Chains A and B, each alone.
Chain A
Amino acid sequence: MVMYALKRIFLALLVALTVSILTFTILNMTTDPAVAMAGDTATDFEIESITIAYGFDQPMPYQYVQWLGNALQGDLGTSYYFRTPVTALISGRISITLWLGLVSMAVGILIAVPLGVIAAIRPNSIWDRICLTLAVSAQALPSFWFALMLIVLLSVTFPILPSSGTDTWVHFIMPVFVLATRVMPAIMRLTRTGMLDVLASDYIRTARAKGLKPQNVLFKHALRNAVVPVVSVSSVQLGHLLTGSIVIETIFALHGVGFLAYESTVRNDLPTMQALVLLFSCIFIIATLVADLANAWLDPRIRVVGIDN
Chain B
Amino acid sequence: MIGGGLLLLICLAALAAPLLATHNPYLGELSDRLITPFWNSGGSMTHPLGTDSLGRDYLSRLLYGARISLIIGLGTAAISGIIGLTLGLVAGYFGGRVDMIITYLISVRLSLPTIVVSLAVVQLLGGSLNVVIMVLGFILWDRFAIVTRSATQQIRSQDFVKSAQAVGCSTMRIIFKEIAPNVMNQFIVIATLEAAHAILLEAALSFLGVGVQPPTPSWGLMINQGKTLLFFKPWLVTIPGVALFVLVLSINLLGDGVRDVTAPEQRN
Residues of chain A touching chain B, judged by Cβ–Cβ distance below 8 Å, are 11, 14-16, 18-19, 22-23, 26-27, 30-31, 136-137, 139-145, 148-149, 151-152, 156, 189, 192-193, 196, 239, 242-244, 246-247, 250, 261-262, 265-266, 268, 273, 276-277, 280-281, 283-285, 288
Residues of A within 8 A of B107 (CB): 11, 15, 288
Query: CB distance B207 to A265 under 8 Å?
Result: no
Residues of B within 8 A of A196 (CB): 268
Looking at the complex, which one of B104, B119, B230 makes contact with A262 (CB distance below 8 Å)? B119
Query: CB distance A284 to B207 under 8 Å?
Result: no
Query: CB distance A243 to B115 under 8 Å?
Result: yes
Query: CB distance B252 to A142 under 8 Å?
Result: no
Query: CB distance B116 to A280 under 8 Å?
Result: yes
Residues of A within 8 A of B223 (CB): 142, 144-145, 148
Looking at the complex, which one of A149, A265, A283 makes contact with B119 (CB distance below 8 Å)? A265
Residues of A within 8 A of B241 (CB): 142, 145, 148-149
Residues of B within 8 A of A15 (CB): 104, 107-108, 111
Residue of B nearest to A152 (CB): B234
One digit per residue, 1 when the CB lies within 8 angstroms of any chain A CB and 0 when it does not, for chain B 106-126 equals 011011111111011101110
Shortest A240–chain B CB gap in Å is 8
In the bound assembly, the distance between CA atoms of A288 and B142 in angstroms comes to 15
Residues of A within 8 A of B240 (CB): 145
Residues of B within 8 A of A151 (CB): 230
In the bound assembly, the distance between CA atoms of A265 and B208 in angstroms comes to 10
Query: CB distance B113 to A139 under 8 Å?
Result: no
For residue B49, CB closer than 8 A to chain A, the reply is no
Query: CB distance B210 to A247 under 8 Å?
Result: no
Residues of A within 8 A of B112 (CB): 19, 22-23, 277, 281, 284
Residues of A within 8 A of B111 (CB): 15-16, 19, 281, 284-285, 288
User: Assuming A19-B108, A145-B223, A193-B268, is B113 touching A239 (CB within 8 A)?
Assistant: yes
One digit per residue, 1 when the CB lies within 8 angstroms of any chain A CB and 0 when it does not, for chain B 229-254 equals 01100100110110011001100110
Residue of B nearest to A270 (CB): B124
Residue of A nearest to B197 (CB): A139
Shortest B265–chain A CB gap in Å is 12
In the bound assembly, the distance between CA atoms of A283 and B111 in angstroms comes to 8
Query: CB distance A261 to B108 under 8 Å?
Result: no
Cβ contacts A to B, 6 pairs, < 8 Å: A15-B111, A16-B111, A139-B252, A152-B230, A276-B116, A284-B113
Beyond A27-B124, A136-B249, A284-B111, 20 additional pairs, beta carbon < 8 A = A11-B107, A15-B108, A18-B104, A18-B108, A19-B108, A31-B124, A140-B248, A140-B249, A141-B245, A142-B200, A142-B241, A145-B223, A148-B227, A152-B231, A156-B230, A243-B114, A246-B116, A265-B120, A277-B116, A281-B112
Query: CB distance B124 to A268 under 8 Å?
Result: yes
User: Assuming A139-B252, A140-B245, is B115 touching A244 (CB within 8 A)?
Assistant: yes
Residues of A within 8 A of B234 (CB): 152, 156
Query: CB distance A30 to B124 under 8 Å?
Result: yes
Query: CB distance A247 to B116 under 8 Å?
Result: no
Looking at the complex, which one of B119, B123, B244 makes contact with A145 (CB distance below 8 Å)? B244
In the bound assembly, the distance between CA atoms of A207 and B127 in angstroms comes to 59
Shortest B232–chain A CB gap in Å is 9
Query: CB distance A136 to B252 under 8 Å?
Result: yes
Residues of B within 8 A of A139 (CB): 248, 252
User: Assuming A137-B249, A284-B110, is B117 touching A277 (CB within 8 A)?
Assistant: yes
Residue of A nearest to B120 (CB): A273
Q: Which of B206-240 contact A (CB under 8 A)?
A: 207-210, 220, 223, 227, 230-231, 234, 237-238, 240
In the bound assembly, the distance between CA atoms of A73 and B204 in angstroms comes to 35
Interface centre among A15, A145, A246, A265 (most CB of B within 10 A): A145
Q: Which of B100-156 contact A (CB under 8 A)?
A: 104, 107-108, 110-117, 119-121, 123-125
Query: CB distance A280 to B248 under 8 Å?
Result: no
Residue of B nearest to A148 (CB): B237
In the bound assembly, the distance between CA atoms of A281 and B121 in angstroms comes to 15
Residue of A nearest to B209 (CB): A266
Residues of A within 8 A of B245 (CB): 137, 140-142, 145
Query: CB distance B268 to A261 under 8 Å?
Result: no
Residues of A within 8 A of B207 (CB): 144-145, 247
Query: CB distance B204 to A144 under 8 Å?
Result: yes
For residue B196, CB closer than 8 A to chain A, the reply is yes
